[in-house]
Amino acid sequence: MKLGIVILAAGQGTRMKSRLPKVLHTLAGRPLLAHVMDTAASLQPDRMVVVYGHGGEQVREALDAPELQWVEQASRLGTGHAVQQAIPVLKDVDQVLILYGDVPLMRPGSLQSLVEKAASGFGLMTIDLDDPTGYGRILRNEQGQVQGIVEEKDATPEQLQIREVNTGIMLVEARSLERWLEQITPQNAQGEYYLTDIVALAVAEGVEIAVAQPAEAVEAEGVNDRLQLASLERVYQRWQADALMRGGVTLRDPNRFDLRGHLHTGLDVSLDVNVVVEGDVVLGDNVSVGANTVLRNVRVADNTVIRENCVIEDAIIGPDSAIGPFSRIRPGTELVGGAHVGNFVEIKNSRIGLGSKVNHLTYIGDTDMGAGVNIGAGTITCNYDGAFKHRTRIEDKAFIGSNTALVAPVSVGEDATIGAGSVIVKDAPPGELTLARGKQVTIRGWKRPKKET
């Protein structure tokens, strides 16, 4: 059986009060539609179609992929009309699964259950809610068989008491879907073509409607405003936190953790509160991450301690290193191992050798640093001349005194010492003390300016 998947993503999302199309608002750092596309792809469909409308070109630019086909719904005339736009590109499939671009938490296992139960050719995903307000109600006969769906605005008072509701997700035999869509009419309170009307048409033809329900009702919740988006964000983050803890990671407070990408961990990893993980992050054995730290596309080797309030991105951190608090490690940086990077230190596009220390109030940019180097507080590598970047080289066991400026391109030799307060513009030889200070002068009788009273 060939499976086609249609993702409806044409809604304007007026309640989001945004210029951004609703399906491009993010959950865990990725567009809502991207989550749905990933879930759909996990079923290995033969055809995947996205029906777009409001802001469609923006959506396509953000999420286009070779396996996708895009169909425009130029006029928003309801869900039935939206699916009808996709029919021409579904001629070669046997079954059609209909999903929604603003329902990001549906799990692959729940959809697989629907596929397996829909042997009759028609499967419907429903949920039971204590408060079904806003949802279409599932109508059943005395034998419990599904007879149809009534939208809330068209429901009678008795029907409004029904707690089993429609999620909108359904699996339908392709040829029957095309035929039924041609029969529905906009004779309802909204004046739209309801996709749900095909259920009654199927029943009239004697088709049995199979029903599946997701493992958790929240899987079927959609996003209509920013409150709902925030609510689903916390659900999704808690799912990820639970999976990490089951895998052996210590989270000091799983409700204050955000994973916006992929995290791979070794043994005995510990994350304090408000850690944010973005992109692809790998943490080795015995890695500890302090509170309020951001890790973005980082590889951290075993036995490394990252203290509070650090930002580390696109970097490689070697084993037995200590970083922070208040350190910023920028893209292109590698700490070979055993490094100490302390408070208010920024490192960019540099290689820090084994056991080197950069502990206080320092900027290291475009630098090749050897092993056992000590960088004093307030040191700056002056790597930019206003037009071009230049590199600094600091060889093994060099000692750079506090408040030094190294004006690149420049080299400091092995075991060299740079006196505090120096501005180094020429290469410093190995094993020697190099100083570059102005003569100290005292101006007698000078008066500090004062404001007139």
Indicate which CATH number applies to the domain containing 12.
3.90.550.10
286 is in an annotated binding site: no
User: Is the domain of 66 the same as that of 20?
Assistant: yes
255 is in an annotated binding site: no
User: Is 345 contained in some domain?
Assistant: yes
User: Is 397 contained in some domain?
Assistant: yes
User: Is 68 contained in some domain?
Assistant: yes
CA dist 447 and 333 (Å) reads 47
78 is in an annotated binding site: yes
User: Is the domain of 99 the same as that of 197?
Assistant: yes
CA dist 47 and 69 (Å) reads 8
Among residues 82, 98, 100, 101, the alpha carbon closest in space to that of 23 is found at 101
Residue 139: the pLDDT is: 96
**Average pLDDT, 10 consecutive residues per value, the chain (453 residues):** 94 89 96 97 96 86 90 90 95 95 97 89 95 94 93 93 96 96 88 91 93 96 96 98 98 98 98 98 98 98 98 98 98 98 98 98 98 98 95 98 97 97 96 90 84 78
Catalytic choice (54, 262, 340, 360): 360
User: Is the domain of 61 the same as that of 177?
Assistant: yes
What does DSSP say about strands 47-52 and 3-9: parallel, antiparallel, or unpaired? Answer: parallel
Residue 440: the pLDDT is: 78
User: Is the domain of 249 the same as that of 332?
Assistant: yes
268 contacts 251 by C-beta, under 8 angstroms: no
User: Is the domain of 241 the same as that of 303?
Assistant: yes
Residue 121: the pLDDT is: 85
275 contacts 312 by C-beta, under 8 angstroms: no
User: Is the domain of 204 the same as that of 256?
Assistant: no
348 is in an annotated binding site: yes
For 69-103, the pLDDT digits (tens) are 999 998 889 999 999 999 999 989 999 999 999 99
451 is in an annotated binding site: no
User: Is the domain of 330 the same as that of 428?
Assistant: yes
User: Is 450 contained in some domain?
Assistant: no
User: Is 49 contained in some domain?
Assistant: yes
440 is in an annotated binding site: no
Residue 155, Cβ neighbours under 10 Å: how many? 18
Residue 452: the pLDDT is: 80
User: Is the domain of 253 the same as that of 383?
Assistant: yes
User: Is the domain of 207 the same as that of 255?
Assistant: no
Catalytic residue at 262?
A: no
Q: 336 in the Ramachandran plot: left (φ > 0), alpha (ψ -120 to 50) or beta?
A: alpha
User: Is the domain of 213 the same as that of 317?
Assistant: no
For the chain, the domain total comes to 2
Last residue of a domain, one of 163, 194, 220: 220
CATH number at residue 292: 2.160.10.10
Q: Cα–Cα–Cα angle for 41, 44, 46, nearest 5°?
A: 105
User: Is the domain of 347 the same as that of 257?
Assistant: yes
Domain containing residue 374? 226-434
Name the helix (H) or strand (E) containing 377.
none
User: Is 447 contained in some domain?
Assistant: no
CA dist 155 and 139 (Å) reads 10
For 305-343, the pLDDT digits (tens) are 999 999 999 999 999 999 999 999 999 999 999 999 999
User: Is 138 contained in some domain?
Assistant: yes
Residue 115: the pLDDT is: 93
CA dist 289 and 155 (Å) reads 54
User: Is the domain of 186 the same as that of 305?
Assistant: no
